[in-house]
Every structure is written in structure tokens, then in C-alpha cells.
Amino acid sequence: MLSEKMEQALNDQVKWELWSSYLYLSMATYFEDMGLMGFASWMKVQEQEEKFHATKFYGYTFERGGRIKLQTLEAPENSWKSPMAAFQDTLKHEQGVTARINALMDLAISEKDHATASYLKWFIDEQVEEEASVQDVINKLKLVEGNPSALYMLDKELATRVFTPPAATA
């Protein structure tokens, strides 16, 4: 059984993952509005990943005899001053998610909840990838700054990203 505190923390994490998905869908609308369909598509893939994370925490919580109660999702921002600003916000957001996952791990360790600690390892590794993939786009955005035809090429590149649900789940 999960402790009450752990159950609540997992519930909060489900909300946080769903809110991440909501934020990235909002970013997709921003890029779509700009005609940057590759960027919009990248954000929609990101959006699906976050929903997958939420569902993963949902499944784990029930598996351990807990219960999920969905919470209110506040409206995310809907406009950014540039594609770079949106991606910088994305990185900041992912760093915040990493801090939350680490706090969950700290809680699992302090409660001697080995099953949850083991489960969370997948998310610890996933966050390394999440931050790296966002940083990669930021690096490319720096390179194309002030060059519309290079931005157009980057848009084409980002359009190739597809969502593949990870096969191995811890």
C-alpha cells in the first residue's frame, strides 16, 4: 500500500504531467498561428508524451492500491514573444518537472518505499532526455537567429519528430 503522503504526491504529479501536456498544446497553437507547422507538430508530440507520463503515474497509483482524483488545470500562457522564448519556457518548465520528480524520489526514500523509488528511476532517466531534447532545439534556434530560410529548414526538421510510446516500462 502507498502511504497517504505518497498517494497525494502521486496525485499531484498526475496533475503536473497533465498541465505540462496542456502547456505544450498551448505552445502548439502559438506555432500553428505563426505558420510554423513543424514546430507545432513537435509540440504536439511533446503533448502526447506528457499525457503518457500522466497515464503512467495513474496506472502505478492504482496498481499500488491508491486512488487518483483529478484536479483543476489552470489555463497556460497562450502567447510568447518568439519561438526562442517558447523553448526557453519549455526548458524552464522541464527543469521544474525534474525537481518535482527528484522530490518524489526523496519522499520514496525517506518513507522506505522501495517499489516507488524503483518505479521513479524511469522518470529520472526520462527527464535527462527531456531536458536534452529541448536544449537541442534551443541550440539550433540560436544558429538560425535572424535567418528566415534557416528557420524554415528547422521547421521542416522538427516536423519529423514522432511519438513512440516507450516499450520498456519500469
Whichever of 7 and 50 has its CB closer to Mg ion, that residue is 50
User: Position 75: which residue type?
Assistant: A
Closest distance of CB 53 from Mg ion, Å: 4
Whole-angstrom Cα distance, residue 170 to residue 159? Answer: 29
Instruction: Answer whether 43's CB lies under 8 Å from 25's CB.
Output: yes
Neighbours of 76 (CB within 10 A): 17
Whole-angstrom Cα distance, residue 113 to residue 158? Answer: 40
Strands (E), the chain: none
Closest distance of CB 103 from Mg ion, Å: 14
User: What number of chain residues touch Mg ion (CB under 5 A)?
Assistant: 3
Residue nearest to Mg ion (CB): 53
Closest distance of CB 97 from Mg ion, Å: 5
Considering only residues 53, 80, 116, 120, which one is a binding residue for Mg ion as defined by CB under 5 A?
53
Whichever of 120 and 154 has its CB closer to Mg ion, that residue is 120
93 sits near Mg ion (criterion: CB under 5 A): no
Give the DSSP per-residue string, 30-71. Answer: HHHHHT-HHHHHHHHHHHHHHHHHHHHHHHHHHHTT------
Closest distance of CB 156 from Mg ion, Å: 26
Q: Which stretch binds Mg ion (CB under 5 A): 12-20, 29-37, 38-46, 131-139?
A: 12-20
Residues in touch with Mg ion (CB under 5 A): 17, 50, 53
